[in-house]
Amino acid sequence: MKIMVIQGPNLNMLGIREQQIYGPVKLEQIHAQMQEVARQGGVEIEFFQSNLEGEIVDKIQECYGDANGIIINPAAYTHTSIAIRDAISAVALPTIEVHISNIYRREEFRQKSMIAPVCASSLVGFGPFGYHLAMVGMLQILKELQALQEAQKLQQA
């Protein structure tokens, strides 16, 4: 099984930008921790970051047939991108949306997620630990889907 982690614009600047909001942890540190959870869970994990909406849409589409689930922080595109929303909907993979800050306690324009309605879950405001929670959640979702598929095979046999 494979989980794709997609990071949106400016997340490559974690640890540098607005530390009062996002903290001192760098994206590479978050990915290293996620890699460890994936290893313990026996799943493959791949990371992708882009500042460009079209590249994010392309990466989501590439997940079809290649990944079993997506963890995404669309960053600023959360509030504006129908294209990312449509791509997530099109691939029909379990997707968890993550935000380091609590978007519902920020500026009004950040309080609406275009992405959340097509995701299995959203985690906001847990800081970098939100990615850990997303990994645990995704592993659970994938185990439940795998059990369901196995049960369906048994019924068909």
Distance CA 72, CA 58 (A): 13
The one-letter amino acid at 2:
K
pLDDT at residue 110 in the model? 74
The CATH number assigned to the domain holding 84 equals 3.40.50.9100
Residue 156, pLDDT score: 84
Res. 52 pLDDT band, cuts 50 70 90 = very high
Which candidate in 31, 64, 79, 99 is catalytic? 99
Contact 69, 95 (CB under 8 A): yes
Residue 155: predicted pLDDT: 85
User: What span, in angstroms and rounded, lies between the C-alpha atoms of 45 and 28?
Assistant: 14
pLDDT for 34 equals 97
Confidence grade of residue 20 (pLDDT, cut at 50, 70, 90): confident
Catalytic option among 22, 77, 131, 132 = 22
For residue 80, give the amino acid letter.
Answer: T
Full-model pTM: 0.93
Q: What is the largest CA-CA distance in the chain?
A: 57
Overall number of domains in the chain: 1
Is the Cβ–Cβ distance between 124 and 130 less than 8 Å?
A: yes
Distance CA 83, CA 88 (A): 9
Angle between helices 129-156 and 27-41 (to 10 degrees): 30
pLDDT score at 154: 84
pLDDT at 157 over 80: no
**Is-contact 48 79, C-beta < 8 A?**
no
Q: Average pLDDT of 107-125? A: 90
**pLDDT given for residue 109 in this prediction:** 72
- Domain with 56, as residue range(s), is 2-156
State the average pLDDT over residues 95-111: 86
Q: Is 77 a catalytic residue?
A: no
In what order do the strands lie in the sheet containing 44-49? Answer: 44-49, 2-7, 69-73, 95-99, 121-124
